[in-house]
Amino acid sequence: MTTLIDGSVLEGGGQILRNSISLAALLGKPISIHKVRNGRKPPGLKNQHRTGIELAAEIASARLTGATNGSTEVEFAPGRITPGNYTADPVTAGAATLLLQISLPLLLFTPSATPSTLTLKGGTNATSAPQIDYIQRVFLPFATRHFGLKVDVDVRRRGYFPRGGGEVHVTVFPGADGARLTSASVMERGTVTRIGGIAHIAGLPGHLGRTMAEGATRRLAQRGFAPDAAVPVPVEIESRREKNENTVGAGSGIVLWAELAGGGVIGGSAVGRKGADAVTVGEEAANELINGLEADGCVDEWLQDQIIIFMALAEGTSEVRCGKDGLTLHTRTAIWVAEQLTDAKFDVTVEDSGHTIIRCTGIGYTAPTDSDLSNK
C-alpha cells in the first residue's frame, strides 16, 4: 500500500520531501508526495530537490516517477539499499548539504558493513541551507557523540552562489552486524567550554577573512565570551583563504560553534554578500551564535530539526533540551513526517523554565539482512 504524504503541511518545503524519501527508502514503503513544496514560490521541484531524490532512488534501487523540474507530485517505490560510490550534481549552486541530508540516513543502514562514498557537487556555502562547515563542526560532532554515526567529510572545492561548482567527498561507515543508532540524552547545558570558528574566503583579498573573524571576536567579547572575561571562554576563529584551484567563483562566509559542557553544541553563521562589509558579516554570525546561547538550550534551531530523523530511528528513548524560543516550524515538520512514516512516538513538553523538551521513543531500526530481503 502506498503512503500518501501532503507536501503542503506546516513548513511546506523541501524538508518534507527529503525526510519522507529517506524514511520510505529505509522502511521499504512506497510513498506518493503531492503538493510538493506548496509553501514556496514557485512550488514544485527545483534542480536541487530533483537531484536529491534521484540520488536516493539510485541508492535504494527505487522506482521514481514525477521527478522533473516544476513537478508537484512524486512517487517513490524503494527496493534494496546498496552500498557503493555515488555522485550527485545539481549543475547549479544547489546545496550539497541538502543532498547529504537525504542520502546519509540510507547509507548508514546498508545490509553490509561496507563503507560508501558520496561525491556531492553544487553549493557548499549559501544562505538557504546549512554551510558545509556547519555540518562538519556542529551537526556531525553532535550526531557522532550522541547517536553513534561515523561519517567523514572532505571539502575538495568550495562553491559559492550563483556559480556553485563545489565538491564534497563523504565517506559513510554503516554499523556492523545490524547495529542500531544509540539514543541521545542531552538535557544539561553546562558551561560554554570553547568557541571555535572558521572565516573562509575565495577569490577575494585575504584580509577580508581576518576582518570577518575580528568582527565576530569583538562582538562575542562584548557579550562576555572571551578568554579574559569574568568567566573565561577560549575563542579561536580561523581565517582561511582558499586556493584559486579549490574554488569556483568568489565568495566568503563564516561559521561559529560553541561547545557545551553537557554535550550540546550551538552554531552561528553568515555568508558574505554584495554590499555587506566583512565586519558586519562577522558580527551577524556572532549575533546568531549569541542568540542561540541566550535561548539556553543544548542545540540550536537548525540542529534541532536535523536530529529528528535520527531520534526516530534510534533504539530507546532520546531526549533533548531545546531553548526557550520553542520549536521551529522545520522541527515540527520533521516530527510530523517521522510520525507519518514510522512507529516512533514523540512527546514535546514545555517546562516551567520555558525550555522545550523533545522526547522520542525510537523504532530501533536495523538494516535488513540478505535473508530478510530474499523473503520479501
Bridge partner list, 311: none
Question: Rounded to 5 degrees, what are φ and ψ at 270?
Answer: -160, 155
Residue 175: what pLDDT? Answer: 79
Q: Has 330 been annotated as catalytic?
A: yes
Residue 190: what pLDDT? Answer: 96
Please classify residue 88 by burial: count the beta carbons closer than 10 Å to its beta carbon, then call 0-12 exposed, 13-18 middle and 19+ buried. Answer: buried
Q: Is residue 244 classed as helix, strand or coil in its secondary structure?
A: helix
What are the pLDDT digits (tens) for 106-119?
A: 999 988 888 999 99
Residue 373: what pLDDT? Answer: 52
Give the pLDDT means over successive 10-residue stretches in the chain (376 positions): 94 95 97 95 93 97 95 96 96 92 95 91 91 97 96 94 91 80 96 97 92 98 95 96 83 97 98 92 98 97 97 97 95 97 98 96 88 53
Residue 176: what pLDDT? Answer: 62
Q: Which of 49, 200, 330, 355 is catalytic?
A: 330
Q: Which residues of 330-353 are buried (b: 16+ CB within 10 A; e: fewer)?
A: bbbbbbbbbebbbebebeeeeeee
Residue 371: what pLDDT? Answer: 54
What are the pLDDT digits (tens) for 18-57?
A: 999 999 999 999 999 999 999 998 999 999 999 999 999 9
Domain 82-179: which topology? UDP-n-acetylglucosamine1-carboxyvinyl-transferase; Chain (3.65.10)
Considering the chain, what percentage of its residues have pLDDT values greater than 90? 85
Ligand-binding site membership of 101 (annotated):
yes
The C-alpha cell at 126 is 549559501
| Distance between CA atoms of residues 232 and 207, nearest Å | 28
Residue found under cell 579549490: 246
The C-alpha cell at 261 is 559542557
Q: How many other β-carbons are positioned within 10 Å of the β-carbon of residue 2?
A: 12
> What is the CATH code of the structural domain delimited by 300-376?
3.30.1370
Contact present, 153 and 136 (Cβ < 8 Å): yes
Sketch the domain layout of the chain as residue ranges. 1-81, 82-179, 192-294, 300-376
Q: Rg of the chain's alpha carbons, rounded to an integer?
A: 20
Domain 1-81: which topology? Translation Initiation Factor IF3 (3.30.110)
Length of the chain in residues, anyone? Answer: 376
Domain 192-294: which topology? Dihydrodipicolinate Reductase; domain 2 (3.30.360)
**Category of 17 on φ-ψ map: left (φ > 0), alpha (ψ -120 to 50) or beta:** alpha
Residue 300: what pLDDT? Answer: 97
